[in-house]
Structure 1
Amino acid sequence: MTANRSGRARKRGDDCLQRVPYASVMAALLCCVGVALFSVMMAWAFTASVEQARRALNTDSLPWLDKVQIFFIAVAVLMGIATLMLLTVGTMSTGSTRDELYSGVRGQMGGRVANGFALISAYVLNVCWLLCFACTAILCFIYYAFNSLCSSLTDFSDSNCLDFGAFRPLFQRFSSSSLRLCGGDLQEFCALSSSAFAWYVVGLVGTFLTIKGLVHFLICCSANYAHVSSGTKYADLREVSSLCTWGVVGKIVLFTTLGSKA
């Protein structure tokens, strides 16, 4: 009696472990960590960039830049919803859960539609995050150049200046500043550049982790689509395999019995 109970408990535990979509869980963790790093670090870095722009241009008429922080919050929320959706589809397409939900013709069709939609969503999100990666890499390069310029200065006196006058035509609509930074303004500019550069680099790492997670989701959705589409074939193969196994066992028992009688 005790042996039967332990066997049932072990079977239930094995069944629960087979229901866990380990690859999808790993992809979800990568996406969550990556999106968190990207959203937080990019919000901080963009705040530093806005402060730099206001000080360099001597203007406060940049209200639309403050709203960019809302964009990063929206990205985090939408990406969290998408990750939860992809993880749910992966869970429903794994192990015995797949066999229970996607049995029959209609069930298989629903499984194909769900995994196909998840596959397309992961692909579109991956393209969007590749664009984010490219933009963040450009910002990292720009602030690396700013840091290199600041490190070439011996001190922050009025005689040591950084002249960005070549970019004045781009900002004439917003400010008439000379874009020449000296003394205290230059020191603040370099301090903000150093902080923003570090934050942009961490944000770049976050985009990389998110892309890796979405690639994992693409692989999982493709595999799950194939499993759902060929569910009946796999069931037939398992049945044939079990019959063959029992046939071999029966022959062994028969030969053993005949040998003992002989």
Structure 2
Amino acid sequence: MSASTAMHMSDGLINAPVSVIFAGVAVAGLAAALVGARRDLDDRTAPMAGLVAAFVFATQMLNFPILPGVSGHLLGGALAAILVGPWVGALCVGIVLAVQALVFADGGLTALGANVTNMALIGVAAGFGTAMLLRPLAARGRTGLMIVCFVAAFVNTVVASAGFILQFALGGDAAFSLGAVAGSVLGLHCLIGIGEGVITALTVGAVAAARPDLVHLLRGRSAPLELRDAPVATPKESTA
């Protein structure tokens, strides 16, 4: 079982009843995200959401080696949530997963609900929740923000993989030991989480350096936070 297969589940990896249950969870979760996203989307954030979805789509199509014969890819949940918020982020990842399944056959159609639940709902919630807990550190400067992004992306990856383990426990092939599957998936996704953390930190750090006002985590629910180590413009001296 490759790392990317573990997250992007194919048809038949879990049984039909469990697939139907998580399809319902995915539909309900994305419906809630759609309602929440209406509050976050405006003329400034809508183009950013499109860019985030395109970036997540591109990076999910690129696998990187973890071990011989094992590869992984960026999940993008924490990245999307930090940049455009959890509601819009969940929609971005959900749309990417649907396009990949329908157009590129990356992930099975019957497993689409489970994949969306893991990566667009569980992963986004875990990543953004972690980032919000560490938000005071992010406000200290660009370095603090990048540390927060790394940790949030790592947690996003590992917790999303735990969603797969739950689904496999409920409806997976009994021929495989749940303990062995859980140990393999969690171990591999800890390694994947390191790569995801680095990519997320570098990407968000680059956006924050140019336009910190576009980083949702820095805005929060009130006024935008100022990155304390960001350059501050010195007012010009007036001449008589």
TM-score (norm 1): 0.23
Greater RCO (CA < 8 Å, at least 6 residues apart): 1
Larger radius of gyration: 1
